[in-house]
Amino acid sequence: MTDYIKELYKVLGKGKVKDAKEYLITHSYDGMRRKFLPDVVVFPESTRDVVEIVNIASKHKITITPRGAGTGMTGGALPLNGGILISFSKMNRIIKISVDDTIAIVQPGVVTYDLVKEVEKYGLFYPPDPASYKTSTIGGNVAENAGGPHCFKYGITKNYVLGLEAVLMNGEIVKTGGKTIKNVVGYNLTDLLIGSEGTLAIITEITLKLIPKPKFSGVARLGFRSLGEAVKGVNKIITNGFFPSALEFMDKVSIIEVFKFLGLKVNENISAYLILEFDGDREEVENQLEEIKALFTNEELEEIVYATDPEEKERIWEIRRNISGAVSKPDLIKYNEDIVVPRSRLPEIVDFVYQLGKEYNVKTVLFGHIGDGNIHTNFFVKKEQEIFIEELLEKLFKKVIDLGGALSGEHGIGIAKKRFINYQLSPEIVEIHRQIKKIFDPENLLNPGKIF
């Protein structure tokens, strides 16, 4: 046992420090499914514990990797250099919910779904809902600036973070932001830490804005005979004055796979789904659900399903949330990209992606948050096909940038996309990023090897 691990045991105790092989293996991978073994896993229960960990790591020049639930898709929680992996599974308290201030103060290990359900008891709503929200944690969501279906209307994680407590690599505890919506004192360091993928500081407490829970909601699932009409239908919906709280997309392959996965009968005439959710007053929602059908002809729509009952709504959303698991195959390697383009360019990027799939003879699956231009682009390749995946991804990302889009809408860069970051950011901007990293982490011990 190395000296620094002995010191961790001495300072934190056996219950918070684990170096047995089973702990190392279970914390060696995330949603990207690549494995890097840490040397030790620690389970802090307080900010003071995190300070102790940081001080020991700095003293011995050992790298630290913060980890939420390991649901990230770009390798942000992978301990590339071994070292210390911090699991926040024991820092999972909802510290405070204030109805008067409409805020919640939480530790980073709180599961997103648990927070959503808890604040609902007070008539409040926390909108950001990544597909993994029943597993992912608030700390991980903040680190990656996660999105989700309801972000179309309500905004992404950063729109709900008012303040942070974090531990710097010199052991200092800092607080950014506060408990108020308006706060323009100094540089916005809160936003700097959000989406920094655990490379600048270790977040130990989060103050979140809440909003009143909508009184009523309803879901519509539109089944299109043509993929092209479904994609064009997105702008048709919005330009005709409809503003759903969620606007999601599924292509034919994802529909077939998820229906099979859930044991449901699929309609072979449907080439794509749009899933819309409306919220507000009951009458308003019910009117919108009825009116949305009038936008499309019978030739365009094969099916339209409405739901206002909670269980029926959940059944529709269950189809959307199970896509990733349903389309994954043990004999194929999945490359899951979360590209985003302006909505007006959606038809172009969808056509381009399918052309790429045909060009390289790989299975292609599209779904995602199409309302805000965010398409989850999945390529499934055999082992022998990996030799050209780099070329395929280069073409994809260059096209995305040409269309005025971004390499990532919500998954982050991590290790999966760092080699492509120069496609979007100029060398001058990348250098500014590096200098910021150096200010926060001069020894490059905090989650090294990510983003750059």
Give the domains, in start order, of the chain with CATH numbers: 3-89 (3.30.43.10), 94-212 (3.30.465.10), 216-325 (3.30.70.2190), 328-418 (3.30.70.2740)
More confident residue, 331 or 116: 116
Percent of the chain with pLDDT over 90: 96
Please give the pLDDT value at position 94: 98
The chain-wide mean pLDDT, for the chain, equals 96
Confidence band for 22, pLDDT divided at 50, 70 and 90 = very high
Q: Quote the pLDDT of residue 209.
A: 98
Average pLDDT over residues 266-292: 95
Asked if 331 and 382 touch (Cβ cutoff 8 Å), the reply is yes
pLDDT tens column, 193-233: 999 999 999 999 999 999 999 999 999 999 999 999 999 99
pLDDT, mean of residues 248-271: 96
pLDDT over threshold 90, residue 371: yes
Per-residue pLDDT tens over the stretch 148-184: 999 999 999 999 999 999 999 999 999 999 999 999 9
- Give me the pLDDT at residue 78, please: 98
pLDDT computed for residue 131 by the predictor: 86
- Whether 293 has a pLDDT exceeding 90, the answer reads no
What percent of the chain is modeled with pLDDT above 70? 100
| DSSP strand pairing (124-125 vs 17-18) | unpaired
pLDDT for residue 420: 97
- Residue 1 pLDDT > 90, yes or no? no
pLDDT digits (tens, 9 = 90+) for 300-321: 999 999 999 999 999 999 999 8
